[in-house]
Structure 1
Amino acid sequence: MKGWLAWDSLSGEDGRMKQDLDKLEQLRSLFGEMERSLIAYSGGIDSTLVAKVAFDVLGDRALAVTAVSPSLLPEDLEEACIQSAEIGIAHELVHTHELENPDYASNPINRCYFCKSELHDTLKPLALKRGYPYVVDGVNADDLRDYRPGIQAAKERGARSPLAEIGITKLEVRQIAKHLDLSCWDKPAQPCLSSRFPYGEAITLAKLHRVGRAEAYLRKLGLKTLRVRSEGDTARIELPAEQIKEFVLTMDLPLLVEKLQSFGFVYVTLDLEGFRSGKLNQGLQLATVGDLPSV
C-alpha cells in the first residue's frame, strides 16, 4: 500500500519533474562518455540546452559552433552569442554557403537535406582538425516523428543527437532548460528563414533579406511568436490565432503595409488561420513524402 502511495505522490507535476531530472542525468552521463564534443549550435532552445549540459560536464572540452549564412537572422546570431556567453562555453562562428548550391536554392521539398549537408560538411572537418571526436546537434525526440530530411544528412556524416538518443521531447527540453535557469527556456522556435517560402519557389539573397527585415520589424513592435511567409511578391503574416483580433484593431495597418512594401513586398496579407509551425508542409502529399529518396 505504501508503495502505491509513494507512486501516487509522484504523479502529476512532481512525477513529470522527476522524469525530466532523470533524463537530464542521462544527458549528463552521455556527455560524460565523450572526451570532447563540438556542438552544432544554432542558438535555439534545443541546441542551447545541449551546449549547456555539454559545458557543465566537459568544460573547456566542449565547443559551440554557429553557422552563419543569409538564412540566419542577425538577431538570432546575436542571441546565440549572448546565450553562449551566459553558459560560459567557447563559441565560434563559421560561414556556410548552402545558397550557392542549386539543389538548395531551388527549394525542393528535401531542401533541408542540402542545408544540413553543407553544415556538417563544414563542421566535421573542423571537429577532426581540432580533435573533437563527436559533432552533436539539438535534434529532439519529437523531431524524429516529423518530416526532417536534414536529420538524414547529419546521420550520414556521423553526427549524434543526444536529446533524441535519450528520448527528450520538445516540452521536456523547455522544462529542463527552465530548471537549469536558461534565459531562453521559453524562446519561440525559430527555424531558418528559408522555411518561409513554399516548396518550389526559388530562394534568393534578396528574398531572405526582405523576410528577415519584415520579421525583425514586427518583433520590434512587441510581437513574439510570428512568421512572415513569402510567396512571390506577397507577405503573409502569421500570428497566434488569439492575437489576430487585437492586432487588427490596434495596429496601424497602412503604416505596416508601407513598411513591408519598403522592404520589397508588393502585397501584405494576414493569415486568418493563425500561426502554426511547419504550416508549409501541409501542402505536401503524404504519398509524395513517403516516396522521397533517402537523400
Structure 2
Amino acid sequence: MIDRLLHHLIPLARVAVAYSGGVDSTLVLKASLDALGTENVIALLAVSPSLPQSEKDEAITLAQQLGARLELLPTEEVNDPAYQANAPNRCYFCKDHVYRALRQFAEQNGIVHVLDGMNAEDTLDVRPGRAAARELKILSPLHDLGFSKQDVRHLAKALGLPNWDKPAAACLASRVPYGTSVTPKLLSQIERAEAALFDLGFRELRVRHHGDVARLEVPEADMLPALQQREAITTALRATGYIYITLDLAGLRTGSMNEVLKARSA
C-alpha cells in the first residue's frame, strides 16, 4: 500500500501539503517526505479562529517530529460575509480562502502541486468545499488511490505516525447550525467549552452550539462517564456562557449539523 502511494507521489517532484495535523494530511505529508525528500516538501497550516489552539499546537509539534518544513498561513474566511452567513455551502467559502492562500504561497515559491488529505470516503458526507479544491486544482492522492479511512489509519500505524488513532476533527464552525452567524467570539466560546471537557478526560466530543444550549456529543462508551460527571460538565460549560447543557442520546457522529439538510430533502 505504501509503495502505491510513494509511486504516485514521486512524479510530482515538489509539493506543498495542506496540513492540519489530522491523520489523513499527516500521512500525505509523511509519504511526500519519504518520496521526495524534505527539500522538496513543505507543509502549510491554515490558521484562523476556526482552528482550535490545541490543534494548532499539536500540528506544529508533529511536523517538527517528522522533520518537515512548516509554514503557518493566516486565512481570512471569518471576515467574509458569505462565510459568516453560515449557509449550507459555508464550507465552500472557507476552503476557497484556505486553498487560495495555499495556492498563492506555493506559486510564489515555485511549487506547482498542492496536496490535501481527502480520502475515498470523504465524499460520502455533504462537502461543498470540494468544489473549491477542484477549482484551485488541489490534488488528493489518498482519494485518487481509493484509500479508505481504515486504510489510512492502518498505513499511518505501520509507518509509526503517533497520531494514527487520533479522533477525526473538524473546524469549530461545524458546531454551529446553518443560519446562525459564525463569528470569532462564537468560535472562541465553542473552543473553550470543548477544551474544558478535554480537561475532564474526554478524548472524543463535539459541543454543538444552539444559542443558550450546548448539545454535547460523545461516543456511546462515554455516555455513562458523561452522566457521572454531569455536575462538572454543567459547571464547566456554564462558565463558557451556556445556560442549558444537554447530552445527545444519538452519540457522536460526523456532520450531525447536516442531518437537518437531509431531513428537509426527504
Report the equivalent of 2:21. 43
Contact 2:125 2:255 in 1 (8 A): no
Q: Which runs of 5+ in 1 are unaligned?
A: 1-20, 290-295
Report the equivalent of 1:248. 227
SS in 1 for 2:12: coil
Contact 2:176 2:209 in 1 (8 A): yes
Task: Tell me whether 1:114 sits opposite 2:87 in the alignment.
Answer: no
Determine the C-alpha separation between the residues in 1 that align with 2:125 and 2:251: 20
| CA apart distance, 1:286 | 7.0
What letter corresponds to residue 217 of structure 1 in structure 2? A
Q: Which runs of 5+ in 2 are unaligned?
A: none
Determine the C-alpha separation between the residues in 1 that align with 2:192 and 2:238: 11
Determine the C-alpha separation between the residues in 1 that align with 2:265 and 2:46: 31
Task: Tell me whether 1:83 sits opposite 2:58 in the alignment.
Answer: no
Q: 1:61 aligns with which of 40, 55, 62?
A: 40
- TM-score w.r.t. length of structure 2: 0.96
| CA apart distance, 1:30 | 1.5
Report the equivalent of 2:240. 263
Report the equivalent of 2:80. 101
SS in 2 for 1:285: helix
Determine the C-alpha separation between the residues in 2 that align with 1:61 and 1:145: 32
Determine the C-alpha separation between the residues in 2 that align with 1:286 and 1:214: 28
| CA apart distance, 1:127 | 0.4
Task: Tell me whether 1:216 sits opposite 2:195 in the alignment.
Answer: yes
Q: Give deviations 1:204-262, integer Å, cap 9, x for gaps.
A: 1111011101111111111111110001111111111222123212x1x3343222122
Contact 1:144 1:164 in 2 (8 A): no
Determine the C-alpha separation between the residues in 2 that align with 1:132 and 1:287: 43
Determine the C-alpha separation between the residues in 1 that align with 2:195 and 2:5: 34
What letter corresponds to residue 83 of structure 1 in structure 2? L
Determine the C-alpha separation between the residues in 1 that align with 2:190 and 2:264: 31
- TM-score w.r.t. length of structure 1: 0.87
Contact 2:197 2:236 in 1 (8 A): no
SS in 2 for 1:189: coil
Larger Rg: 1
The farther-off stretch of 237-246 and 89-98 is 237-246
| CA apart distance, 1:98 | 0.4
Report the equivalent of 1:25. 3
Identity %: 42
Determine the C-alpha separation between the residues in 1 that align with 2:263 and 2:143: 24
Task: Tell me whether 1:204 sits opposite 2:209 in the alignment.
Answer: no
SS in 2 for 1:229: strand
Report the equivalent of 1:229. 208
Report the equivalent of 1:275. 252
Greater fraction of residues in helix = 1
SS in 2 for 1:145: coil
